[in-house]
Every structure is written in structure tokens, then in C-alpha cells.
Amino acid sequence: MQHYLSINDIDSLPKWVEEARDLKNNPLESKSLGKNKTIGLLFFNNSLRTRLSTQKAAMNLGMEVIVMNFGNEGWALEYEDGTIMNQGTSEHIKEAAQVVSQYCDIIGIRAFASLKDKEKDEAEVVLNGFKKFASVPIVNLESSVGHPLQALTDAITLAENSTKVKPKVVLSWAPHPKALPHAVANSFVEMMQRQNADFVITHPKGYELGTAITNSSKIEYDQDKALENADFVYVKNWSSYADYGKVLNQDQGWMITKEKLGNAKFMHCLPVRRNVVVEDAVLDSEQSLVIDQANNRTYAAQVVLKKLLENLK
């Protein structure tokens, strides 16, 4: 594996999950692998889990870590070729990516969708710009289209908590006051398509994810029906894809309650808005796996960095 940009970079999901679980049992087993290697984490957007868990993973592997909040502190980057840079951008991705590559052996990039221009977002200009002009491996820390570290984490958490060979897993949209990207939901769907599971997506009409992502995954518009006999309920808000980036409704009837959850386990990538997306009674119950998910972020990142480091040797 040269880069970790999407779920498609995982050659065997079951093997990676097993490896991550082994690392969780013995996080320092490869402490010498990253000696004298540096990872640079560039954040164009906010983060708690991704930033800290990826640092922790790198430290477990013996790496040095450099973090930069690029959105606030870096020069505004230009991505277009041949632009006359007499407007707001100060530095071209061609120089920036090559410069960072001199300081780092691996580069992680977080750059969310703008939710204004679908074509531009789907071109992944930041992630692909670094991929094109950097000379070191790139890790996607959540891009416009995907959050593959989160999806690998979710596969680990499902494996740890599943008691059935073929569990029923429901991805449910939930209300949110702000327009949120599709990245987490997209990668979760792509990951679930590689699982032996009865997988159902539920959302109000108008919130269909891109068909290139959902393919033949089952969509049920009746949330109650979708949730029947669920073993896991993964909840996430996303904005409309068809009416790109728009909040079409904030129907509180879609919030996940204890009653709706039934006996299922609750999953969410965090951060989560209490009593908007999900009620307190769910998050504060033993059915909630959100803290376990956040913990597994470290081991998902660690398995990815370990494979990239092994490839550097």
C-alpha cells in the first residue's frame, strides 16, 4: 500500500481488523518500527479524535509527530495549474507538498468538503494535490468524500461487539442544525459492503447518498421499519447530496431515542449533539459504543501507519 486514501486501499478488511485488535492488546510491540521517522499531520479543519488518536498511534510506533493547523496558520494554498496568483492564495500546492515531504516520512491530511461545489469537492483537490506533488505516503484524515480511518475503526468495533455471524446493521440519518459532509456515511457504507451483514440505510427522502457509494445497498425510508430487530444502529447526519450541501429538514422525529434503539448497540463517530442527534438516555446507557469507537481510532490509525512504515523500509 502506497497511500491510505480510501477503504479501497484495504486489501483484506478481516485481516486488518484482526491486526488492529492484536495491536490493541500489545500497542508497543512495534515501537522500534517508526524510530527516526516523522509524521506530519496537516489539519485544514477541526478535530479532537483524529488528531489525538493518530498522534498516539504514531507514538506507539516510535515516530516523531509534527502537527499543523493549516486552516488557521498556514498560507492559503492554490491548487489550480497556471493560475495568476494575484488574489487570496499565497503558496501553490506544488511547492507546499514538496516542502512538507522534506520534513516528513508520512503526511496526514484533513480537508473537509466545502459543500458548495460538488464537482470541486469530489475532485478532492487538497488530498489529491498532496498525493500528486508530495514524495511520501499520504493518509486521509477525512476528506471531502471519505473518512476511511473512521470506517476501519467502525469495522473493529463491530467485530469486537458482534455476537452473530450476520448481524443487522442500520445506518440512520439524524437531524442536525448545520450542513454536514457525507464523508463518514460514505466510508461507513463502503465498509459495510465488505461485511457479512444485513445492512440497511435509512433517511428521509432527499437525503440519498451518491449512487456511486450506495450501489445496491438497501435503503428504507421508514426509520421504524429499518430499525426493527437491529443489532447495531450507526447514526450520522449528512446534508443533501442531490440538493448539494442543503439542510432539507431538521425533523426531530428522526432523533434516536432509547425506545427506537430497542436492544441494539448505538454507534456514532463523534462529536455528537446530545438531544438533537440522539437522546441522553442512549449515550449514557451501556448500549452506547461511542467511547469504545473513539478508543479504536488509535488502533485503526496504528495498523495503517504500521503498513506504510513497513513499505518504506
Residues that bind ligand CP (CB under 6 A): 47-50, 142, 150, 269-271
Nearer to ligand CP, 112 or 130 (CB): 112
Q: How big is the CA angle at 147 (ends 18 and 251), to the nearest 5 degrees? A: 115
Residue 129 grid cell: 494535490
**DSSP helix/strand/coil, 249:** coil
Query: Closest-CB residue for ligand CP?
Result: 50
119 by Cβ neighbours in 10 Å (0-12 / 13-18 / 19+) ranks as: exposed
Nearer to ligand CP, 290 or 308 (CB): 290
Nearer to ligand CP, 129 or 146 (CB): 146
Instruction: Say if residue 181 is preceded by a cis peptide, omega within 30 of 0.
Output: no
Nearer to ligand CP, 31 or 178 (CB): 178
Minimum CB separation of residue 139 from ligand CP in Å reads 13
CB proximity list for 18: less than 8 A, separation 6 or greater = none
**DSSP helix/strand/coil, 310:** helix
Minimum CB separation of residue 234 from ligand CP in Å reads 12
Minimum CB separation of residue 222 from ligand CP in Å reads 28
Tell me the sheet residues that pair with 235.
172
Minimum CB separation of residue 4 from ligand CP in Å reads 15
Nearer to ligand CP, 133 or 238 (CB): 238
Nearer to ligand CP, 264 or 290 (CB): 290
Minimum CB separation of residue 246 from ligand CP in Å reads 22
Please give, one letter per residue, the 3-state secondary structure of 147-193: CHHHHHHHHHHHHHHCCCCCCEEEEEECCCCCCCCCHHHHHHHHHHC
Nearer to ligand CP, 28 or 291 (CB): 291
Minimum CB separation of residue 269 from ligand CP in Å reads 4
Minimum CB separation of residue 188 from ligand CP in Å reads 11
E-assigned strand segments in the chain: 38-43, 64-68, 77-78, 91-92, 106-110, 138-140, 168-173, 198-202, 218-219, 232-236, 265-267
Crossing angle between the packed helical segments 49-60 and 290-312, to the nearest 10 degrees: 50
Radius of gyration of the chain (CA): 19
d(CA 12, CA 124): 25
Minimum CB separation of residue 268 from ligand CP in Å reads 9
Residue type, 110: R
Nearer to ligand CP, 54 or 202 (CB): 54
